[in-house]
Structure 1
């Protein structure tokens, strides 16, 4: 299941899950965490919510990894009450990891609780060393405030820190990077979109149609015609949808 999830192959993941049930292998909280996260990342929120309920029912004790996943998912689904409750459980653990703080900061930011996110940020920086994901979050905040130069400087600062492939393939890293790409795309900043998009390609995250559509949107906003975008999309494993063809049609008007 984890292999299919890492490949961002929802169909393959569901097939493995159905095979488990066919062979009467009982799914556990780890299985449901993988299913819920994969569907949330693919923006299939209704299905993700059903699997979140399964995680809650199968959760055994205060497993920090499951709690981290729930924090991510509640942020995706906009469940403020559940997010606060889960974060409260995490804070009662003997040791709260830096990663848990960063996930909570991102989750509260996603649901619009910026003051809560800032409060946790202050707590985190007073006790933990900033990592590469920290700089991604900061860059995203700068872009949201329309501080483009500061955002670019922050991204450069983050590049100086060693980042493992595991981190670069993680949901927080990919989604924060995608949020940054979306903001650059809105500005028609094709150069920076392409730089960051390459990370998503390497992580196979660009197989999601909505991810590739953001790249095409950047070219439309920049009024630049690129004849190979649709071909790149298909060869990269993403399936064009109605939005894709609408964007491609818009891009046609910028043909030299």
Structure 2
């Protein structure tokens, strides 16, 4: 774009911020400097990305500073940004702040601000507030929207109220003749998190019988269902068959769910196999993959030869945690016993 002499726009900068938020947070500052230099005004989406980035880094003070800067620019927080803010307050243990944000989202009259309901349901569940989830769902229950049903299933699932989640799903099945993969996956995730393997299997069969297209999101939930039930090899087999279909590739985190299980066991052979299969699926190496792989070697109490060279070949450099792992698996590291033998 620069070579073609296009002026930088807020949209282009936001896309860069979105990319770096996911893959390289250190470069976010460079984009912000570019925006300042080129006099590109931040939009509400820019601020939302920055708030989310700070929240993921557990920098709640920095997050609050961005909110203040946003208000100083005269930009109001929309409900999506407020939901992100509340989510990070909950994760950071600032429950009172989270509750205040949720009340702001309700706007004093939940029926008049019904568009916030699908965001409020899982957030009240994160706070463990059963009565609030029930109150918000009662506003939606008479004529529920699809996204509200999915949010309610997710909320009841977080609160371990499986029967309530199933009731919402049944209501959804009566309201719409054909359910989407997202709607099925919501209840499937509840079963996975509660280690209800048989119910999960029955739901997958029902999903297939309905002619619903099963894709990466559903594969991810099915894999987690089997992993939570302790059937890691079965989960691995399902993932392998899904990848062989070559219609859509499984999600990165689905592979990592299984790889992390092998890592915990110290199963170097299968962890290496997953590492290789991720490459075959088109995923370039990331630091998290090496971190999981190294942990497999550590738990197996086996030295890892050439690991630094493998990382270097993928243009990856160890962070502090990975550097500590590399020391543990270094086959040539000196110990008091090795010094005596030398």
Q: CA deviation at 1:103?
A: 1.8
Question: Which deviates the most, 4-13 or 142-151?
Answer: 4-13
SS at match of 1:226: helix
Q: CA deviation at 1:36?
A: 3.3
Contact 2:197-2:225 at 8 Å conserved across structures: no
SS at match of 2:149: helix
One of 166, 183, 189 as aligned partner of 1:118: 166
1:86 is the counterpart of 2:136: yes
Structure 1 CA distance, aligned partners of 2:125 and 2:81?
20
Structure 2 CA distance, aligned partners of 1:181 and 1:239?
18
CA separation of 1:71/1:126 partners in 2, compared to 1, >3 Å: closer, same or farther? same
Q: How does 1:1-256 map to 2 (within 5 A)?
A: 4=18, 13-14=50-51, 18-19=65-66, 21-22=68-69, 24-25=72-73, 26-37=76-87, 39=88, 44=91, 46=93, 50-60=97-107, 61=109, 62-91=112-141, 95-129=143-177, 130-140=179-189, 144-147=195-198, 150=202, 153-154=205-206, 156=208, 160-161=212-213, 180-185=222-227, 186-188=230-232, 189-193=235-239, 195=242, 199-201=250-252, 206=253, 214-220=257-263, 223=267, 224-227=269-272, 229=275, 235-236=285-286, 238=288, 246-250=295-299
Match of 2:46 in 1: none
Any unmatched runs of 5+ in structure 1?
none
Any unmatched runs of 5+ in structure 2?
1-13, 26-48, 55-62, 305-342
**Greater relative contact order (Cα < 8 A, sep 6+):** 1
Structure 1 CA distance, aligned partners of 2:84 and 2:114?
15
CA separation of 1:151/1:222 partners in 2, compared to 1, >3 Å: closer, same or farther? farther
Q: CA deviation at 1:133?
A: 1.9
The runs of 4+ residues in structure 1 deviating greater than 6 Å are 230-234
Q: Deviations over 1:133-165 (max 9, x none)?
A: 2332454466633337546545645774398xx
Query: CA RMSD for the aligned pairs?
Result: 4.6
SS at match of 2:80: helix
Contact 2:154-2:165 at 8 Å conserved across structures: yes
SS at match of 1:46: coil
Structure 2 CA distance, aligned partners of 1:111 and 1:218?
25
Provide TM-score, normalisation by structure 2: 0.50
SS at match of 2:197: coil
Contact 2:181-2:214 at 8 Å conserved across structures: yes
Q: Deviations over 1:180-219 (max 9, x none)?
A: 4333333113233465895433xxxx4xxxx876332333
